[in-house]
Amino acid sequence: MHGSGAEISREVFWNILGPGFPTEQVLLYVLVVIAFLLFFHGLARSGFFTRMKAVTSAQGPDVERVNNAWDRFMYMVVDVFGHRKILREPYQGVFHFFIFWGFIALAITTAIVFLQADVIWPIWHVWFMQGGFYLGLSLFADVFGLVAIVGILMAMARRYFMKPKWLDEKGEDKVILWFILAILVTGFVVEALRIQATETDPASPMNPYIWFSPVGRTVAFLFSGMSMDALRDTHVVLWWTHVLGALGFIVFIAYSKLLHIVMTPVNIFLRPDTPQPPIKAMPPEMFENAETFGIHKLEEYSWKDLFDSEACMRCGRCVEVCPAFNTDKPLLPRDVIQNIRTYMEKKAKFALDADGNYHILPDEEYTGPALIGDTIEKDTIWACTTCMACVEACPAYILQFPKLIDLRRYLVMMESDFPAEVLDVFKGMENNSNPWSIGAHVRADWAKGLDVPLLSEKGEAEYLFYVGCAGAFDDLNKKVAVALVKIFKAAGLDFAILGTEEGCCGDSAKKIGNEYVYQALAMANIETFKAYNVSKIITMCPHGYTVLKNDYKELGGNFQVFHYTEILDKLIKQGKITLKQPIENLGVITYHDSCYLGRYNKIYDQPRDILKALNSGSLVEMKSHHAKSFCCGAGGGRMWMEEDLGTRINQKRTKEVEASGAKTVCTACPFCYTMLSDGIKELELSEKLQAIDIAQLVAKAAGLDQKTDKAGNENDQEAAN
């Protein structure tokens, strides 16, 4: 059958083809065609096309996900083949990498064999699969096949021995690994049987090169005692088993999470191209015109929101990192996505007409399960801290928590249905422009006696110091605001504050789902900023930072916004502040990454550089840090809600501080500062641990605070009041 001159090669279809007409070869290709037909049939049976109808009927705002197609494509290629996100988790990253590349290599090998045996040889009678190329290919396939087996075994070890609690366990999960292992093992056994039959004889021209199939050769030792007939008979049976297994795998993809092989790359192509997960502002004119706000029906999502769930392979990485899940709250981001997927099919049953077309039923006609309540529970919706850990972790670039914000918007703006504690927060923001509900007229009282320049008096300044509600109203965080103005003044920074003209940034309102109040607050600030021709803004709070910098743009506010850590880092590096005094009693220090500074805005280094510049204690990292940092529990408006489900997030983080061996945990966010200070008190760890904001440490090291108590807290006039 194959090139007669090719001695260093092998016969494709050895022992399979009978004499004469290549019946078996034809049968094989008929089977391949059947497998692909069954694959598409499987897609239909597993509800894929039904779900796609729901996706294409989505009425939510269209989202741009195919612009810069070439860049998107290249990003996808690098991500898929390089495992950029997958490898962030070393263990599961590596085993997926092994399985992936094992399969790619075997697919390449199969394609080469196909080209040789079924295209090139029949048409041109050229046999290129010989000599060094053949040996290389042989070695390549063997090594990568083994790599794939190692990957599968590692995955099995995780599933059966390590059993992380966030790992999903469905019927298919029990089968898939064994299925793949069986295909790989039968592949090697078939190879070994062929080697035993055709290459172990020293007279065989292939014999000197037998170890170019190291795995096959090794396995062949098992069959050394078998007769040629037995070898051939076993080989035929196992060859067909292997082939049927591989074809069955193709069909199985359609029915199982293995569909991610196709859908995840598509979703990577369609990924959002903003650094922050988009939580789009509702167009202001909508408030006047729309009948309904937020989302309570499936089809109100955008097509991309619905499509996301196709790409989810239930890997559980989002669950692993979710602070709500990790403190026993009923929120698993994976399940939010999976429930939307199941719901698409359920809802389609009610919405498919006689022609099989999906049409949207009016509320009165729809009798199926509801999106809010039946599909995603209210407790789930409110448990999210918007920490972004899920989005950051997801290898399929799925936006999990933004889908919850849409549901919050419906609950808040349509139903006035939110945790009771939040009512006062909304009223505080509406009436006094701060969530603490403290009189707006005392917003600048923290600055009394400090001679802080007011923009209304100064007229203009290079920087507006936007203090934010925490710095203005919360006793603990007023100390941070005080420290900052002392530093700015000492460094000769040209800055001013707005005083009582400042308003709440609106982040909590936005993330709780009150887009109406958020936009009112944001617009008021934008107008004030514009009235003073403000161009550069320093914020104390990462939440204000992210909305002023990123979200105000949607409402026409374009400002250059800096977090104070960016400014302090620069001032220190420029020598404008000298950190001359070592700070006593700091002990080992650790830095707690604020979600809104780190994951949202990629500010990881500046706070750490500042801490290193203090020269006052070694810096250690906690178990989770940088992009994987664990939330303090206050984001997403959770700061204002009771935490009565599960355990407390701030305490879990405080325990991580303790476990790091640090004595001082440094924060750069007022919410984190509050939550960790509370965590230390709640766990009665005040003897061992202390929380302090970076700004206070810098002020102290620069000799700018008046008195210092033993905990290293500022204890000057303003702080004591």
Partner 1 sequence: MNTVVCIKQVPDTETLIKVQGAGIVTEGIKWVMNPYDEFAVEEALRQKEKMKAGNVTIVSLGPDRAIEAVRTGLAMGADTAVHINDAAYYDKADPYATAAALAAAIKGMQYDAIFVGKQAIDDDAAQVPAMLAEMLGIPVVTMVIKFEVAADKSKATVTREIEGGQAVVEVPLPAVFSAQKGLNEPRYASLPGIMKAKKKPVDVKKAADLGVSEGPKTAIKEMSLPPARQAGKVITGDDAAAKAKELARILHEEVKIV
3-class secondary structure per residue, 514-554: CHHHHHHHHHHHHHHHHHCCCCEEEECCHHHHHHHHHHHHH
Which of the residues 398 through 437 are near ligand SF4 (CB under 6 A)?
398, 400-401
Cα separation, 35 vs 37, in Å, equals 5
Residue 11, both tokens:
């016969």
Check the CA dihedral 582-585-589-592 and report its sign.
Answer: negative
Nearer residue to partner 1 within complex by CB, 419 or 646: 419
Query: For residues 682 and 700, what is the distance between their CA atoms, to the nearest angstrom?
Result: 27
Residue 188 structure tokens: 């090697």
Minimal distance in Å, beta carbon 423 to partner 1? 6
**Do residues 557 and 481 touch, judged by C-beta distance below 8 A?**
no
C-alpha dihedral (45, 48, 49, 55), degrees to nearest 10: 150
**285, 291, 364, 451: which one binds partner 1 (CB under 8 A):** 291
> Which partner from the list partner 1, ligand SF4, none does 331 bind, CB cut-off 5 to 8 Å by kind?
ligand SF4
Quick check: 389 binds ligand SF4 (CB under 6 A)? yes
512 binds partner 1 (CB under 8 A): no
Q: How many residues bind partner 1 (CB under 8 A)?
A: 23
Regarding 715 and contact with partner 1 (CB under 8 A), the answer is no
Contact partner, 416, from ligand SF4, partner 1, none, Cβ < 5-8 Å per class:
partner 1
Between 423 and 450, CB nearer to partner 1: 423
Task: Rank residues 404 and 509 by Cβ distance to ligand SF4 and give the closer one.
Answer: 404
State the Cα–Cα distance between residues 271 and 699, nearest whole angstrom: 42
Contact window for ligand SF4 (CB under 6 A) among 41-49, 228-236, 323-331, 474-482: 323-331
CA atoms within 13 A on the CB side of 259: 21
Q: Is 28 in the site for ligand SF4 (CB under 6 A)?
A: no
- Residue 259 touching ligand SF4 (CB under 6 A): no
Q: Does 315 bind ligand SF4 (CB under 6 A)?
A: yes
Could you tell me the smallest distance in angstroms from the CB atom of residue 146 to ligand SF4?
27
In this structure, the number of other CB atoms found within 10 A of the CB of residue 237 comes to 13
**Residue number with CB closer to ligand SF4 (478 or 543):** 543
User: Applying CB under 6 A, does 331 fall inside the site for ligand SF4?
Assistant: yes
Contact call for residue 393 and ligand SF4 (CB under 6 A): yes
Q: Which of 184, 231, 394, 413 binds partner 1 (CB under 8 A)?
A: 413
With CB under 5 to 8 Å by kind, the binding choice for 385 among partner 1, ligand SF4, none is ligand SF4
Comparing CA positions, the residue from 545, 558, 560 lying closest to residue 507 is 545
Torsion sign, CA atoms 299, 303, 305, 311: positive
> Closest separation between CB of residue 685 and partner 1, Å?
18
By CB under 8 A, is residue 470 in contact with partner 1? no
Amino acid letter for position 11: E
Q: Could you tell me the smallest distance in angstroms from the CB atom of residue 143 to ligand SF4?
A: 29
Question: Using CB under 8 A, which of 63, 182, 438, 685 touches partner 1?
Answer: 438
- From the list 253, 234, 9, the residue with the least C-alpha distance to 126 is 9
In this structure, what is the dihedral angle of CA atoms 366, 288, 340, 381, given to the nearest 10 degrees? -110
201 scored as a contact of partner 1 (CB under 8 A): no
Which amino acid is residue 691, in one-letter code?
A: A
Tokens representing 474 are 């919360």
Binding ligand SF4 (rule: CB under 6 A), the pick from 386, 650, 651, 696 is: 386
Least Cα distance to 391 among 115, 622, 598 occurs for: 598
Give the phi and the psi of residue 533 in degrees, each rounded to 5.
55, 40
Closer residue to partner 1 (CB): 229 or 285: 285
- Residues in contact with ligand SF4 by the rule CB under 6 A: 312-318, 321-324, 331, 333-334, 337, 384-390, 393-394, 396, 398, 400-401
